[in-house]
Amino acid sequence: MSRALLPVVVAAAAAVAIVGGVSAEPQTTGPTTPSLVISSMAGGDLYQAYCASCHGRGGRGDGPTVPALRSAMPDLTTLARRNDGVFPAERVAALVTHGETLRSPAHGSGEMPVWGPLFRALDPSDTRAAVRISSIVEFIRSMQVE
């Protein structure tokens, strides 16, 4: 390259860098993937992180992923009403823990993640996995309407 063109090339490269947004900062290709394990053990936080995408923020079965699912999501706020006024805590815990093996109409398709093994895979503590499941069940209990 001739010496006469060198200033033009340098100026052009600088202009492209400024206009194109090139910087000395490291570039990313998009948003970072959040951790699959949240640190909170609060039922509401766990529900929002793991359940609301399908069951809806309010538990009415209207989560944003519902259109992509094969099965309708149950209204979790009426579980007690549909069970003679008694919240079926053991059944809910079993569904969260074992999911499809119970073959309920809502989870018979196997679409629901089985959270027991997933929680244990993400965090090897059986105690923390059990606390997460218990906290989710208690949060769902708190959502019940008369």
The pLDDT tens digits for 58-110 are 999 999 999 988 888 899 999 999 999 999 999 999 999 887 554 444 444 45
Instruction: Dump pLDDT digits (tens) for 34-46.
Output: 667 788 899 999 9
Can you give the residue ranges of every domain in the chain? 58-146
Q: How far apart are CA 79 and CA 44, in angstroms?
A: 17
Compute the C-alpha angle 26/29/30, nearest 5°. Answer: 115
Please choose, from the candidates 60, 31, 50, the residue with its C-alpha nearest in 3D space to the C-alpha of residue 129.
50
Residue 138 pLDDT greater than 60, yes or no: yes
Give the H/E segment covering residue 12: helix 6-19
Of residues 4 and 39, the one with the higher pLDDT is 39
Q: How far apart are CA 40 and CA 37, in angstroms?
A: 9
Please choose, from the candidates 36, 59, 37, the residue with its C-alpha nearest in 3D space to the C-alpha of residue 47.
59
Q: How far apart are CA 127 and CA 146, in angstroms?
A: 33
- Residue whose entry in the numeric block shows the structure tokens 């809910």: 92
Of residues 137 and 40, the one with the higher pLDDT is 137
